[in-house]
């Protein structure tokens, strides 16, 4: 039985708002960044409240101090500086200046460091927003973007560290062979050369790194401090040599087949400080790369080489589990290291351009040795820089792997990592990382993989910026970083810059990395235990809340039109056990509109024995019911003195803004015996999920039990609904509805509609609002796959046995425009 009001719109008036997205607001503008620039390296404010909110996990005081031994300089500055020097500082800067020219080189360093600086800003914002555990970038991203994105980016970051470690070890071995292997003149040298000899040297270096990392974080810190001191001394000797050494000729390596031949030995000119040399190196002179079979060099190739050498800004964040105070150490240590390495690279580029000919820069990448006051300084610098970079990548990859294992991102696959931890040092993770590096070393030349390594690092930087941008846009109140210089502008520039330069370096590798990341996202979403049980929170919820709220405010019930009307259903349920088919039927009838399942719990709030509102305790049970029924509905519960009063509350408060129920659905008041669809043997809704230790949730009226609702109350509820200007549907015999049988049967062919206005039975107008409302609902049902093959059949009750032809013609016309067949 259905009745409709003549009122077309039953939604509440919205609250007008001109609020815009935070991305366009002025509060977070660049002016704030400039005003606060003066205190860049001030210590971050500390939160002393032990009960304060912890954004990234809950860390007890014992956890914070147990095994955390590293300070800012040893734990962050040294690893970051060494990782950003790598082999680039002694081997690759000449290649960059010789091909790109000084102007383009400086521009590329500025671009690279701007991207790095904005990414560091995002890292600092996350690390100062709450307690930070081990796992570095993976921990930060997973606790912000959720386990799917965090797990996929963390996996790629782990692989990037593995490949980066292999690259560094190969560079270290190259330095050994160049200085102690066979010479260009044919001398045997101190150590032999060959493919398997090189693999032996690489494996030996990798094993030494393994021993250092196995000893623990303190040994790693001490090693890093010592190595950084050696690298700085070697770099200073290079600067002094540029300023003091006079002109000379430098031999071109014999492996440079582009300029060498069997009869003439090519030589390059080192001029010392010379304005003519500087002028010749100001502009680009792109040539060929003699280490890669003469492949052409261009802007993208040069930038790829440059950026692959400075992807070490996460080295300090990877040590977050060993830092005494990560929230303070990560920002100050990382920013200091970035500034230090930037100044070193700029000074080195200018001195190279002013002292070395373009020919020598392009054809001898190890020319710094012959022009040094003591060539051994350069050899020591190459070996120590590459060794430290590999060491940092090895320990970083082991920490990320440990964090992935603890979070059970890959289920039980990484259980051995969790069990193999001794004194806060993940022994099993370190050994696993070492073994993977050994596998990478078997490949041999890693020049091509180096670009993939750069892309993987940039992808993790992009995700970090995306995480911070998303949180800032949503305006999450618990995102309160003590780092002052982060805004959505810095995150956005860092994200866009990183994404663009990924594809500039190599669009194929970038596309493959993004595809792999997305595949991991989907795989982890559907199969990872972490995505099912993690309580970290996901940025997707915050983004959806922000967008839904914004568009709800934009919805205006005053602009509703009958052409775009859709049913907004409120189904009043006493016990879902007895009305499962009705719940499903209404879900079919909502047609993309609002669907609310309402329930009234009768009682006095003040007389409740529980310390909490009983509806709060039952709410999760009803949400589980929604999941079991697989319907798209909201749940509204209320506690009231009577069913009638509770229904009034539900009609008034259900929905939000312009999304308010316009159609109320009630079961029919009769003496029909209820049926428990959760226990019935052949019921498609059968389940034991709602049997709690012998206590059945959602109890319903058994045979012989008295009804809690009187007939007068039922009629008054119907009157209340009409007085509140809502449509009403009375549903009967839905416990007999079997959708599966309808889908299988060939005998059921029709959906019968009787457009009768029971509230005005003498109304002879078949086109009244009630009839149109009934036809509208019937057409909606007929659109769904289960009901689509059935035809709508309309029955009209005529008081005149011989209706006028005009009346019958009008009915046919109305039926045609109503998209019904008869």
Decide if 706 is inside a domain.
yes
CA dist., res. 19 & res. 308, Å (int): 43
Question: Is there a single domain that holds both residue 625 and residue 698?
Answer: yes
HEC-encoded secondary structure of 663-721: EEEEECCCCCCCCCCCCCCCCCCCCCCCEECCEECCCCCCCCCCCCCCHHHHHHHHHHH
Both 713 and 583 in one domain: the answer is yes
pLDDT at 663: 93
| DSSP-derived secondary structure letter, 89 | I
Is residue 427 within 8 A of residue 412, CB to CB? The reply is: no
**N residues, the chain:** 822
Tell me the average pLDDT across 408-435: 82
Measuring CA to CA, which residue among 671, 591, 664, 580 is closest to residue 630?
580
Structural domain contains residue 607 = yes
Predicted confidence (pLDDT) at residue 275 exceeds the cutoff of 90: yes
Residue 274 lies in a domain: no
Give the confidence band of 26 by pLDDT, cuts at 50, 70, 90: very low
Domain boundary among 737, 757, 782: 737
Same domain, residue pair 732 and 757: no
Do 129 and 163 belong together in one domain? yes
Instruction: Give me the number of domains the chain comprises.
Output: 3
What is the mean predicted confidence (pLDDT) over 663-692? 85
Reported as a single tens digit per residue, the pLDDT across 478-490 is: 788 888 889 999 9
The burial class, CB within 10 Å (0-12 / 13-18 / 19+), for 418 is: middle
Last residue of a domain, one of 710, 737, 764: 737
pLDDT at 189 over 70: no
- Tell whether the model's pLDDT for residue 24 goes beyond 70: no
The runs of H, that is alpha helices, within 528-642 are: 529-533, 539-554, 580-589, 614-629
Q: What integer best gives the mean pLDDT of the chain?
A: 79
Q: Which residue has the higher pLDDT, 29 or 669?
A: 669
Of 653 and 87, the one with more pLDDT: 653
Both 131 and 234 in a single domain? yes
- Region 630-653 average pLDDT: 93
251 within domain boundaries: no
pLDDT confidence band for 5 (50 / 70 / 90): low
Q: Which residues contact 314 (CB under 8 A, 6 or more apart)?
A: 123, 136, 137, 157, 396, 457, 460
Cα 420 to Cα 418: distance, rounded to the nearest angstrom: 6
Model pTM?
Answer: 0.70
Mean pLDDT of 245-264: 78
Ranking 47-56, 82-91, 346-355 by mean pLDDT, the lowest is: 47-56
Confidence category of residue 48, pLDDT binned at 50, 70, 90: very low
Q: Where are the beta strands (DSSP E) in 219-304?
A: 248-251, 267-270, 288-289, 295-296
pLDDT digits (tens, 9 = 90+) for 105-154: 999 999 999 999 999 998 888 878 766 665 666 777 777 777 877 888 78
Which tens digits make up the pLDDT trace of 697-726?
A: 888 777 667 777 889 999 999 999 999 999
pLDDT, greater one: 464 or 291:
464
Q: Are both 760 and 716 inside the same structural domain?
A: no
pLDDT of 316-329, one tens digit each?
Answer: 876 777 788 887 88
What is the rounded CA–CA span in Å between residue 317 and residue 320?
Answer: 5
Range scoring the smallest mean pLDDT among 324-333, 450-459, 587-596, 763-772: 763-772
Q: Which of 528, 537, 522, 520 is nearest to 155 (CA)?
A: 520
Q: Tell me how far apart the terminal alpha carbons of the chain are, to the nearest angstrom.
A: 21
What is the helix (H) or strand (E) element at residue 662, kind and residue range? none
Residue with tokens 């000449």: 94
SS3 per-residue string spanning 428-490: HHHHHHHHHHHHHHCCCCCHHHHHHHHHHHHHHHHHHHHHHHHHHHHCCCCCCCCCCCCCHHH
| Residue 127 lies inside a defined structural domain of this protein | yes
CATH number at residue 106: 1.20.1740.10
Indicate the range of 101-115, 349-363, 432-446 predicted with least confidence.
432-446
When pLDDT is averaged across residues 267-296 and rounded to a whole number, the result is 88
Q: Determine the structural domain holding residue 776 and report its residue range.
A: 746-822
The answer to whether position 140 is within a domain reads yes
How far is it, in rounded angstroms, from Cα 404 to Cα 425?
Answer: 15
Shared domain check, 722 and 596: yes
Highest mean pLDDT, choosing among 95-99, 446-450, 689-693: 95-99
672/819 same-domain check: no
Q: pLDDT tens across 537-567, in order?
A: 667 777 788 888 888 888 888 787 777 788 8
pLDDT at 101 over 90: yes
What's the mean pLDDT in 406-422? 80
Give yes or no: residues 730 and 760 share one domain. Answer: no
629 in the same domain as 769: no
Residue-wise pLDDT for 777-803, tens only, equals 888 888 888 888 888 888 776 666 655
Residue 317 CA: distances (Å) to CA of 132, 321, 703? 9, 9, 66
**Predicted pLDDT of residue 492:** 94
pLDDT of 723 reads: 93
**Residue 31 has what pLDDT?**
40
Q: Is residue 51 part of a domain?
A: no
576 and 653 share one domain = yes
Residue 92 pLDDT > 60: yes
Report CA 268 to chain centroid distance, whole Å.
Answer: 51
Q: What is the DSSP string of 50-79?
A: TTS--SS----HHHHHTT--B-HIIIIIHH
Domain's final residue, options 737, 759, 783: 737
Q: How many other C-beta atoms are found inside a 10 Å radius of the C-beta of residue 203?
A: 17
Least confident of 177-181, 475-479, 731-735: 177-181
Are 435 and 490 contained in the same domain?
A: yes
Task: Provide the pLDDT for residue 30.
Answer: 40
Distance between CA 360 and CA 94 in Å, rounded?
A: 9
User: In which residue are the tokens 């782990």 written?
Assistant: 158
What pLDDT score does 8 carry? 42
Q: Does residue 214 belong to any structural domain of this protein?
A: yes
Best-predicted range by mean pLDDT (75-84, 102-111, 125-134, 731-740): 102-111
The answer to whether 364 touches 268, Cβ cutoff 8 Å, is yes
Q: Tell me the per-residue pLDDT of 604-631, one tens digit each, with 9 for 90 and over.
A: 877 766 677 888 888 989 999 999 999 9
């Amino acid at each position: 039985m259905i009745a409709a009001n003549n009122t077309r719109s039953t939604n509440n008036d919205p609250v007008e708002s001109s609020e815009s997205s935070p991305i366009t607001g002025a509060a977070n503008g660049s002016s704030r960044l400039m005003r606060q620039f003066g205190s860049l390296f001030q210590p971050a404010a500390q939160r002393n409240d032990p009960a304060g909110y912890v954004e990234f996990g809950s860390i007890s005081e014992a956890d914070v101090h147990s095994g955390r031994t590293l300070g800012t300089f040893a734990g962050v500055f040294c690893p970051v500086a060494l990782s950003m020097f790598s082999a680039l500082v002694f081997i690759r800067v000449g290649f960059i200046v010789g091909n790109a020219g000084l102007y383009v080189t400086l521009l590329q360093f500025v671009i690279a460091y701007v991207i790095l600086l904005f990414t560091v800003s995002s890292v600092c914002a996350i690390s100062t927003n709450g307690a930070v555990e081990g796992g570095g970038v993976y921990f930060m991203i997973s606790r912000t973007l959720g386990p799917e994105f965090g797990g996929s980016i963390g996996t790629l970051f782990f692989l990037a560290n593995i490949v980066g470690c292999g690259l560094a070890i190969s560079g270290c071995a190259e330095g050994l062979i160049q200085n102690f292997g066979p010479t260009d003149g044919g001398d045997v040298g101190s150590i032999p050369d060959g493919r398997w000899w090189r693999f032996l040297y690489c494996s030996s270096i990798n094993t030494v790194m393994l021993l250092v990392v196995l000893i623990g974080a303190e040994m790693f810190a001490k090693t890093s401090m010592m190595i950084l001191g050696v690298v700085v001394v070697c770099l200073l000797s290079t600067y002094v040599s540029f300023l003091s050494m006079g002109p000379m000729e430098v031999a071109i390596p014999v492996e440079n087949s582009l300029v060498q031949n069997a009869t003439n030995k090519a030589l390059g000119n080192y001029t010392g400080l010379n304005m003519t040399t500087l002028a010749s190196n100001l502009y680009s002179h792109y040539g060929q790369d003699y280490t890669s079979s003469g492949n052409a060099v261009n802007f993208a190739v040069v930038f790829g080489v440059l950026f692959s050498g400075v992807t070490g800004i996460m080295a300090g964040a990877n040590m977050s589990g060993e830092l005494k105070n990560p929230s303070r150490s990560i920002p100050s240590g990382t920013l200091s290291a970035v500034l230090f390495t930037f100044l070193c690279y700029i000074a080195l580029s200018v001195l190279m351009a002013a002292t070395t000919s373009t020919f020598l820069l392009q054809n001898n990448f190890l020319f710094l040795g012959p022009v040094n006051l003591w060539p051994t300084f350069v050899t020591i610098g190459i070996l120590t820089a590459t060794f430290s970079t590999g060491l940092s990548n090895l320990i970083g990859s082991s920490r990320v792997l440990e964090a992935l294992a603890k979070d059970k991102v890959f289920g039980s696959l990484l259980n051995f990592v969790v069990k193999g931890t001794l004194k806060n040092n993940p022994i099993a993770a370190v050994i696993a990382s070492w073994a993977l590096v050994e596998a990478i070393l078997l490949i041999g030349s890693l020049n091509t993989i180096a670009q993939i390594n750069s892309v993987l690092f940039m992808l993790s930087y992009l995700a970090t910026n995306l995480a911070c941008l998303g949180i800032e846009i949503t305006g999450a109140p618990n995102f309160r970083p003590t780092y002052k210089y982060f805004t959505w502008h810095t995150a956005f520039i860092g994200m866009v810059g990183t994404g663009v330069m990924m594809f500039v370096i190599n669009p194929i590798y970038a596309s493959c990395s993004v595809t792999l990341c997305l595949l991991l996202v989907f795989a982890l979403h559907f199969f990872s235990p972490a995505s099912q049980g993690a309580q970290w929170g996901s940025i997707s919820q915050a983004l959806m809340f922000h967008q839904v709220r914004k568009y709800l405010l934009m919805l205006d019930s005053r602009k509703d039109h009958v052409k775009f009307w859709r049913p907004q259903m409120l189904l009043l349920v006493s016990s879902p056990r007895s009305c499962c088919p009705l719940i499903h039927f209404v879900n079919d009838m909502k047609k993309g509109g609002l669907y609310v399942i309402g329930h009234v719990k009768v009682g006095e709030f003040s007389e409740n024995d529980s310390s909490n509102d009983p509806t709060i305790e039952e709410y999760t049970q009803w949400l589980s019911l929604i999941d079991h029924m697989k319907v798209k509905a909201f749940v509204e519960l209320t506690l009231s003195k009577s069913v009638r009063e509770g229904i009034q509350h539900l009609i008034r408060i259900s929905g939000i803004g312009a999304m308010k129920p316009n159609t109320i659905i009630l079961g029919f008041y009769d003496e029909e015996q209820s049926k428990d669809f959760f226990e019935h043997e052949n019921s498609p809704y059968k389940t034991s999920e709602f049997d709690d230790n012998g206590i059945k949730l959602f109890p319903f009226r058994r045979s012989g039990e008295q009804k809690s609702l009187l007939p007068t109350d039922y009629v008054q509820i119907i009157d209340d609904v009409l007085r509140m200007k809502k449509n009403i549907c009375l549903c009967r015999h839905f416990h007999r509805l079997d959708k599966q049988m309808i889908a299988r049967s060939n005998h059921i062919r029709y959906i019968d509609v009787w457009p009768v206005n029971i509230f005005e039975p003498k109304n002879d107008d078949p086109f009244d609002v009630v009839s149109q409302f009934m036809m509208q609902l019937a057409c909606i049902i007929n659109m769904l796959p289960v009901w689509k093959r059935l035809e709508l059949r309309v029955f009209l009750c005529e008081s005149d046995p011989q209706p006028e032809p005009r009346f019958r013609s009008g009915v046919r016309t109305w039926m045609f425009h109503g998209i019904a067949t008869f």
